[in-house]
Every structure is written in structure tokens, then in C-alpha cells.
Amino acid sequence: NAGVTQTPKFRVLKTGQSMTLLCAQDMNHEYMYWYRQDPGMGLRLIHYSVGEGTTAKGEVPDGYNVSRLKKQNFLLGLESAAPSQTSVYFCASSYSGTGGNYGYTFGSGTRLTVV
Amino acid sequence: AQKITQTQPGMFVQEKEAVTLDCTYDTSDPSYGLFWYKQPSSGEMIFLIYQGSYDQQNATEGRYSLNFQKARKSANLVISASQLGDSAMYFCAMRERGTGNQFYFGTGTSLTVIP
């Protein structure tokens, strides 16, 4: 039972480089999310998707782009990495229901360092 | 305004004692869900407990209980009989209806269990 899989788990980038983080889920969840976690700031939403082909901005979207071409995949792109994007990135997915215990299933995180 | 407030950056508890981690929330949506997650040093996010806004009774899951005081907008996590393995970061989160199932997270409380 894979759940939510993030790749890569670790990455070091130089300022200005680009990269894509991949999130894949096998639970047929409609909703997918990208968060970043920084010390003392909790988790902040970058972008999210409520279905294949749709994306929306979260709290901190600047410097990131996303795509959801397939229901099971949600990609997070950094076009020109900056040191301020050094963070731990979490992908999550959930069912589309708004009632009940429709909690998140989280990936294991990607630790990104931009030097 | 912050949607979720956790005012205790760090807490210490003696092994086998109970501990309460505070969480207050802010919403005007009558339908919402409250969640607690645990993040050990390994980094993964582990779901602990859920409370719906219309639930009449406080949620319990084993040694975890949620002290839900709706009028005060608080959702404190109580851990009974603390164990060394409870040492971790704890996050309170809220989901509002109609926001793409988006979660708002607090800044977290770091709990250390002392032998």
C-alpha cells in the first residue's frame, strides 16, 4: 500500500536552477496539495488541485508552478530556485468529501536545499 | 488573522504523566473539522485524531483525546500516560467546508517526554 509517494527525498540545487518534484498517489483521491514546512511557521499551502486538469493557488504560490495532467500525479516545479525556497516540501491527498474525517494522507516529504 | 494558533512552542512532560497541547481556531464556517498530526524526528506526518464541528462528544483515540470547546473555539489535544515515543512535533489543523478541503495548520508544539 504505497499511499502518497514523493520523489526525490533529498535534493540540493544551485540558485537559478530548475527542478520538478513529483507526487503520486494510488488511492484515487480527487484532491492533492503541495505544502512547504519551515521552522516556526508550520505548514503553508503552495498550490492545490481539486481534480485532473485543475490547479489553484494557496497561501505562498510565488516562485512555484504546478500541473495535474493525470489524477494520480501532482507536479511541483521551481523555475529558478532561490535560497528562500530551501524547505521541506510535503505532498498530500484527500477525498473530495467535505464532511467527516476526510483527512490528508501525506507523503514522506522532500528536503530541498538551495545554495 | 491566524486560522490556527498554537501558543506553546515547546512542552516537557514526565513519562507516564498526562499533557495538554493547546490549539485555538478561527472560522465563521459552521461546518469544519479539526485534526491533530504528529511529526516525529523522522519527518513523516501521522494522523492522530479528528473532531467534527457538529460532534457532540469529544473525540478519543486510544491515549489521545480532543478537548473540544466550541464556544471558546479551542481544540486541545490531551495525551494520557505519556511515553518516550510521544516526543515529537504536534500540529493542530482545521478544514473548512468549501475550500477544496484545504487544511490550515498551526505552527506546532514540540513535545519532549522526560524519563
Contact between B105 and A31 using a beta-carbon 8 Å cutoff: no
pLDDT at B74 (0 to 100): 97
Please give the full DSSP string across chain B, using - where no structure is assigned: --SEE---SEEEEETTS-EEE--EE----SSEEEEEEEE-TT---EEEEEEETT-SS--EETTEEEEEETTTTEEEEEE-S--GGG-EEEEEEEEETTSTT-EEE---EEEEEE-
Contact between A45 and B102 using a beta-carbon 8 Å cutoff: yes
Residue B13: is its pLDDT beyond 90? yes
pLDDT band at B39 (very low <50, low <70, confident <90, very high): very high
Residue B90: is its pLDDT beyond 70? yes
Q: Which of B33, B43, B101 sits opposite A108 (nearest CB)?
A: B43
Average pLDDT across each block of 10 residues of chain A; the chain has 115 residues. List them in order: 90 96 95 93 93 93 96 96 97 78 86 97
Q: pLDDT tens-digit profile of B44-79?
A: 999 999 999 999 999 999 999 999 999 999 999 999
Q: Which of A42, A96, A102 sits opposite B91 (nearest CB)?
A: A42
pLDDT at B16 (0 to 100): 97
pLDDT at B101 (0 to 100): 74
What is the H or E stretch that residue A33 is in?
strand A31-38
Give the distance from residue B26's alpha carbon to the nearest chain A alpha carbon, in angstroms: 16
pLDDT at B99 (0 to 100): 66
Using CB atoms within 10 Å of the CB of residue B47, give its burial: 0 to 12 exposed, 13 to 18 middle, 19+ buried. Answer: middle
What is chain B's mean pLDDT, rounded?
94
Query: Could you give the CA distance from residue A9 to residue B98 in angstroms, rounded to a whole number?
Result: 32
